[in-house]
């Protein structure tokens, strides 16, 4: 099993940390992992993205041209990465503020309105965990228990009181995600 994932959005949406949690979860589950952030100008306002690979085998290139799964949290990311999903792959997008919806017919597309939900329920800081929950629902690559362990490893101890809130956000995301029909 090899799963090549790109997560993209605005800086501040928790894209890099979501990737990190995914990578740590993969580590807990005994997988080979790689995590590459965009560390360039994007990080300083604009779009940020992170490539995460989880695999049962040694990972050759951490740099990729196409992805099994793309997760996009804004319009520029959707525009760029929808086209880079492998045929038969998966696209998960947040519908917030989009003027142009995805249109490919050869991939599986899911919509998750995590931004809207997180504002309504006053959990904006856990928005990325809602998305992660959605991913785990449609692609159960990592067991939820291992994700929670991964989360614990990523969060500094002073934030550990936030773990239950994050767990709830993951569960909410699993409920929230739905198939998007082009």
Partner 1 sequence: MKKDSEEIMLMKGNEAIAHAAIRCGCDGYFGYPITPQSEVMETLMELEPWNTTGMVVLQAESEVASINMVYGAAGCGKKAMTSSSSPGVSLMQEGISYMAGAELPGVIVNVMRGGPGLGTIQPSQADYFQAVKGGGHGDYKMPTLAPASVQEMADLTVLAFDLAFKYRTPTMLLADGIIGQMMEKVVLPPYQSRLTEDEIRVKCPWATLGKPHGKKPNYITSLELLSEDMENLNKRLQARYRILEKEEVRFEEIACEDADYVFVAFGISARVCQKAVEIARSEGIKAGLLRPITLYPFPVEKIKELSNRVKGFISVELSAGQMVEDVRLAVNGKVPVEFYGRMGGVVPSPNEAFNALKDKLIQ
CB atoms under 10 Å from CB of 28, counted, come to 20
Q: Identify whether the C-beta of residue 88 lies closer than 8 Å to the C-beta of residue 109.
A: no
Q: Identify whether the C-beta of residue 112 lies closer than 8 Å to the C-beta of residue 92.
A: yes
CB atoms under 10 Å from CB of 107, counted, come to 17
CA 100/CA 103 separation, integer angstroms: 9
Q: Provide the minimum distance between the beta carbon of 159 and partner 1 in the complex, in angstroms, as a whole number.
A: 17
> In this complex, which beta carbon is closest to partner 1, that of residue 60 or of residue 83?
60
> In this complex, which beta carbon is closest to partner 1, that of residue 28 or of residue 114?
28
> In this complex, which beta carbon is closest to partner 1, that of residue 57 or of residue 106?
57
Q: Provide the minimum distance between the beta carbon of 156 and partner 1 in the complex, in angstroms, as a whole number.
A: 12
> In this complex, which beta carbon is closest to partner 1, that of residue 35 or of residue 180?
35
Q: Cα–Cα distances in Å, from 28 out to 79, 88, 98, 150? A: 33, 28, 35, 7
Q: Provide the minimum distance between the beta carbon of 61 and partner 1 in the complex, in angstroms, as a whole number.
A: 4
> In this complex, which beta carbon is closest to partner 1, that of residue 58 or of residue 100?
58
Q: Provide the minimum distance between the beta carbon of 139 and partner 1 in the complex, in angstroms, as a whole number.
A: 21
Name the site residues for partner 1 (rule: CB under 8 A): 20, 23-24, 27, 32-37, 39-41, 59-65
CA 171/CA 133 separation, integer angstroms: 6
Q: Provide the minimum distance between the beta carbon of 31 and partner 1 in the complex, in angstroms, as a whole number.
A: 9
CA 111/CA 180 separation, integer angstroms: 6
**Mind spelling out the 3-state secondary structure of 54-72?**
EECCCCCCCCCCCEEEEEE
């Amino acid at each position: 099993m090899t799963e090549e994932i790109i997560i993209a959005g605005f800086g501040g949406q928790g894209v890099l940390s979501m990737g990190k949690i995914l990578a740590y979860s993969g580590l807990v589950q005994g997988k080979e992992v790689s995590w590459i952030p965009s560390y360039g100008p994007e990080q300083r306002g604009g779009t940020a993205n992170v490539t995460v690979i989880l695999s049962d085998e040694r990972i050759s290139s951490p740099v990729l041209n196409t992805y099994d799964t793309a997760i996009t949290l804004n319009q520029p990311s959707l525009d760029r990465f929808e086209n880079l999903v492998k045929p038969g792959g998966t696209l998960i997008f947040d519908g917030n503020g989009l003027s142009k919806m995805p249109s490919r017919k050869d991939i599986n597309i899911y919509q998750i309105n995590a931004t809207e939900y997180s504002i309504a329920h006053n959990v904006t800081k856990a928005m990325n965990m809602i998305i992660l929950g959605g991913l785990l629902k449609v692609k159960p690559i990592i067991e939820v228990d291992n994700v929670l362990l991964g989360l614990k490893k990523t969060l500094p101890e002073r934030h550990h009181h936030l773990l239950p809130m994050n767990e709830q956000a993951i569960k909410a995301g699993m409920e929230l995600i739905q198939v998007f029909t082009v």
